[in-house]
Structure 1
């Protein structure tokens, strides 16, 4: 918690200043140092230490005291860079958002070392498959722990194809991979108060992807918010399921419970659903199915003028 200002006995402490995103993101990011001395630390180094701590031990481990210990600073000195943990969290979210910097390595593929996407002459299905496969690979690698917060592996965001469905699905896969690399991120997004420069750059990329839809600006922002919310919720549940897998007894008990409920005669729809042929249940396959339904369903919102043919000449997909 931020340090409280001392006040004379009987007086109320001064209220905490209102959060000012302009001061946070457009300021210098460093405290003033007396007699021309350079600050002992940088905001970037402090933020990187906080991210590494959250990646290793979870968001609850990130306290001003722990971060100060990681960088070898006094706790009070950290408040010159981030006045409270909430502000530090803002910095952390934008720090990892830099891993999705649009335009870096443009034309080299969805991720460094992966094949580039097919050109505009290729069909929609081919483009969607290539980008989904590459992004799913990034997610699998993130789950294996290959990426490190201290030396993050930046994902190369490919140029937009002009097929807004394929581009939006690629964005969703990239967001999931990022959240799996930093498992505290879904929870952090629910309490973030502003968009930093790296997050704004990715938002700009997403809005450009939606340009062919013909949606107005407000609708585009809503679509991106809806997509990000879906990805964060899915990854949160995915993490919970992966942790539950370490307790097979708990899963077996859940199966027994649902089997008993389905057999009681009061839930015929549930019984029919549970009796239907199973679909692939891997996290990657499930995410792709859910994402496809979300994005393809957005087509019904696009005005008729926005339903243009994709660059490959393919007819628009049905809603």
Structure 2
């Protein structure tokens, strides 16, 4: 009589979770976050929809895994930089680049609380650089959160503008018209900067302001 191997209980293998996460990121790029459903993902992976809940019990859990995957290698560019301030800048740029690398990447990342090595490693590197710059633990954490929120929010605005498509010029024209009635003189004077912003330039300016007090 051949003995049967006992069935393994608990969470599915990590490799399977990674496969589902990768498929979810591909589907995200193809169709966007609003169209990403567990049913569509199950079809893409080739399993029943109920099977996915063995890997990710909720969509939030799936989004958290996707956010963790997005940050893979995000800290690598800063690891060899000696100057702590430059390391902070490089990490912030890497986060923005990572989020912009996926359609709706910033929307996926915002609000997640991943505890994987990519996310925690990035946070540790950012906090470490801020501590080396001379900040105490509390100030370093607060500054790190400011940098994270700035990079995420900036990426959200960038991707929203990109995805506005043909609606963007219409919105800009309406804004220009609305500020010409004399009630908003400061906005009218700066309208070219208001409606023709260079996102990369604005991001760098924001980083400089956030890190201005670092040595």
TM-score bracket relative to the smaller structure: 0.7 to 0.9
Query: Quick check: 2:74–2:91 contact (8 Å CA) kept in 1?
Result: no
Against the structure 1 CA distance between its residues 225 and 183, is the aligned structure 2 distance closer, same or farther, given a 3 Å change threshold? Answer: farther
Does residue 84 (structure 1) correspond to residue 90 (structure 2)? The answer is no
Q: Deviations over 1:253-282 (max 9, x none)?
A: 221222x13xx2x4444445449x99x832
Does residue 159 (structure 1) correspond to residue 49 (structure 2)? The answer is no
Does residue 254 (structure 1) correspond to residue 175 (structure 2)? The answer is yes
CA shift, 1:158, in A, is 4.3
Query: Quick check: 2:65–2:114 contact (8 Å CA) kept in 1?
Result: no
Q: Which residue of 1 aligns with 2:156?
A: 236
CA shift, 1:224, in A, is 1.4
Match of 2:205 among 289, 292, 315: 289
Runs of 5+ in structure 1 lacking a partner?
A: 1-33, 103-109, 111-156, 308-319
Match of 1:183 among 94, 103, 109: 103
Runs of 5+ in structure 2 lacking a partner?
A: none
Against the structure 1 CA distance between its residues 68 and 257, is the aligned structure 2 distance closer, same or farther, given a 3 Å change threshold? Answer: same
Q: Which residue of 2 aligns with 1:170?
A: 90
Q: Please give the secondary structure, in 1, of the residue aligned with 2:96.
A: helix
Does residue 70 (structure 1) correspond to residue 44 (structure 2)? The answer is yes
Q: Please give the secondary structure, in 2, of the residue aligned with 1:168.
A: helix
Alignment of 1:23-102 (within 5 A): 35-36=5-6, 42-102=16-76
Query: Quick check: 2:130–2:140 contact (8 Å CA) kept in 1?
Result: yes
Against the structure 1 CA distance between its residues 101 and 212, is the aligned structure 2 distance closer, same or farther, given a 3 Å change threshold? Answer: closer
When you count helix as a share of all residues, which structure comes out higher?
A: 2
Give the number of aligned pairs: 206
CA shift, 1:240, in A, is 2.2
